Every structure is written in C-alpha cells, then in structure tokens.
Structure 1
C-alpha cells in the first residue's frame, strides 16, 4: 500500500443512525452530519512515520496499529494534522492531565464519533453485519489469534474495510460519564472476539490510557474543509 492510500478518506453522507446499549437496554437516534472517514484503520507504518514510535508486538507495516491508548490516538490525530498543515482538532491539556476539548471548526484529523462510526459501518444496511462474517472480518474463528493486514477482507457497500474484526477502534465519545467516568467508547470487535462481538451495534468501553493488542483506531475529518 502506498503512503497516499494509508489514510485515504471516504465521504460519508448525512443520515440518521440508531445506537443501542445492551447493558442499559437503551436506544437513541443521532442525525449524523456529512463527514470523511478513513478507508482503513491506521496502520503500523503510518503511525511510526508520524510519531517516530513503534507500537504493538506484531510486525508488518500494513497491519493495523494496536496497543495504542485513546490518548495516543488523539495525539496522533493532532500530529498528522500538523504534518499536513491542517488545524489540529484537539486542544490538549499542557501537562497531559485533564480533559481534551475538540475544536469543531478545525479541518484536521480526529476520531469518529460513535454515531459516525456506526453509520459508516452499516453503510445503509440494516442487519447486525454488512456481510457474512468470514468474508468481512478477522475474528476469533479465523484470525489464528493475531492481526492481519488491513484491506484483506471484503469492504462494506461504501468501501470501508475492517470496520468489523481485526482491531477494536477508539471513538471520541465518553461511554457513560455517570457510571464509568472518563471511559471512552470502542467499536467493531477484534481478532480475539467471538462472532457476537463483531456486530455493528456492539459497544465496548475502556479507560483512555488503556493499551492492549486488539485495540487500534481509524481517522475521521469533518466535511466541508
């Protein structure tokens, strides 16, 4: 994969998406504005080129980066924005402690909201997945318990690869501040997950400093920039 394809973006149309949470048995509908979301999860090669850091235990530049925290992901977004002359989307606390604020007017890279993520994942489909699981995702049943190069499975109808399986993906949103504090949302399922976790609606949560070998992220940008 050449460098330009590593963070190629697909235009996501506006539209409603209904999110649900099995823990609380709650559902809610969000009107998603037009946005841009990356075709693939961020790769190890792109992450290393932008940050100068290697991340995760697996080898291979076209594998999805993993072992990155939510904090790592937002810092990466800002670093890539600055590298490309764009306005960073995040205002980071100077000492690395405190809340991250999002500049909604910025044209730089950011994490998708979970509504944007699910809207892009579903790509107009209504079922739990956008195709047969083995054809679209690396999961516990076919991954040999490791990540695989991005783009190796069939894309969804809008052209996104690896939305389900391979690695979980950090989203911008706080999961449930009243119950879990600063925990952030993860979406998509990963290479170690059973089939029931690799569905468009499944929500997972973790502390923003959490790093593990089946969690990565995907880039987004606001439309109109």
Structure 2
C-alpha cells in the first residue's frame, strides 16, 4: 500500500461533456491490482479465465470485489468497510460504505484518478508502451502485474492490463446501479488507456479484462 497525499482532481465525462472537481483526503492505495494469488488466498477461489499467480485477478464483479475487501479486512483484524444487506437484489444498492472503518475498500474514482495522474495533467503519466499493456503491445492477452514502468508515486498498471472497479455509481439517473470502471485493459485500443476515461457496468458483471485494486482510509 502506498500513501496518497491529499489533493484535488477534476473529473470529466465525455458523454455528457460535464466536469467536476473533488477534494480528497489522504489515503492508502495498493501499488498494483489484486493478483490471482492474493485473491485465492483470501477468497478461496480462482475465477480468472487465464490462470497465473502474478496475473491480475479478473472475472470478478463489483460485488465480488466488495466481498473480497471485507474478507481481507477480517483476516487482518481490521473493521470491514462495507455493510452488505441481503435483500436478494444484487444491484449494489444494498451495500453501505462505513467511511470511519479502517478496513480495505475500493477507491473512489476521484481517488483512482488522483493516484493515476500522480501530479501530471496530460492524458497519461508517461509514454503508453512504457507504462501499460494494451491491444497494441499485449499480444492480446493479460499480463503479470508490475511488468511496466510505474508512475512517479509508485503505482503500477494504473493504465492498461485490466480495468479496475471503483466505488462510485456511474450516473444513477440514467444507468441505475451501474458502477464506474477505470484504466483501460489489455484488449483496449490506445484511446481507452487514459487517466480520464470512464467506463460503466452492472455490479454483477464479470469479464476477463476487469479486476480491481484496494484502498484504505487513514
């Protein structure tokens, strides 16, 4: 886990042409996405389509990621960040975040972008081929975490390799319970691997280019 300093980040949405600024407190964020080895150790499962201990876990839904965060918190004696009501809906609206908890959680998309940019203002924190696995250089397959150059704060794979679930609803008025994905993946064209790109999906969605990394509040 890396300490992320407080700051402010301006988010933007290409579809709505809207932008908004978010002030952020300091927090901790994992240096890399959750690997298959860690996921198996904590959750007792290997859901990924292609197996490899050092590969990012994929084939995990937003709800899977939330449950993993709570399980990891329990294993380390921390207070779980999420309260999950069993209402049978599986739409993500039955999950509540306890902001006072010291356990693991998903980053907000503002936290994610702040960490991704690491003080930079351009679309990427470095030359894309040096920092990310994407369709043009991945041989169209997922790659082990940490294989590309990190940003200046030490974060690997913020762009490319796997999309990453964030806590936030994408646009509840239009898309209901859909949650935000960030970062681009191994099968995406160069355009999608940018700090500002937002993608959305249902909290039960699972596919082989979506994973996550964990955060903790201070």
1:87-142 residue CA offsets vs partner (Å, 9 max, x unmatched): 00000013553520000110000000000000000000010000000000000000
Counterpart among 185, 188, 213 of residue 193 in structure 1: 188
> Does residue 32 of the first structure (1) align with residue 24 of the second (2)?
yes
- TM-score in terms of structure 1 length: 0.94
Q: Which residue of 2 aligns with 1:215?
A: 210
Please show how residues 142-161 of structure 1 align to structure 2 within 5 Å: 142-161=137-156
Q: Which residue of 1 aligns with 2:71?
A: 79
Q: How many residues align?
A: 215
How well do the aligned residues superpose, as a CA RMSD in angstroms? Answer: 0.7
Structure 1 runs of 4+ aligned residues shifted over 4 Å read none
Q: Which residue of 2 aligns with 1:52?
A: 44
User: Which consecutive unaligned segments of at least 5 residues does structure 2 have?
Assistant: none
Please show how residues 150-189 of structure 1 align to structure 2 within 5 Å: 150-189=145-184
In 2, the alpha carbon distance for the partners of 1:39 and 1:133 equals: 18
Pairwise CA distance, 1:48: 0.4
Q: Which residue of 1 aligns with 2:117?
A: 122
- TM-score in terms of structure 2 length: 0.97
Pairwise CA distance, 1:56: 1.1
For the structure 1 residues 96 and 38, does the alpha-carbon distance in structure 2 shift closer, same or farther, using more than 3 Å as the test?
farther
In 2, the alpha carbon distance for the partners of 1:119 and 1:190 equals: 19
Please show how residues 61-100 of structure 1 align to structure 2 within 5 Å: 61-97=53-89, 98-100=93-95
In 1, the alpha carbon distance for the partners of 2:58 and 2:141 equals: 11
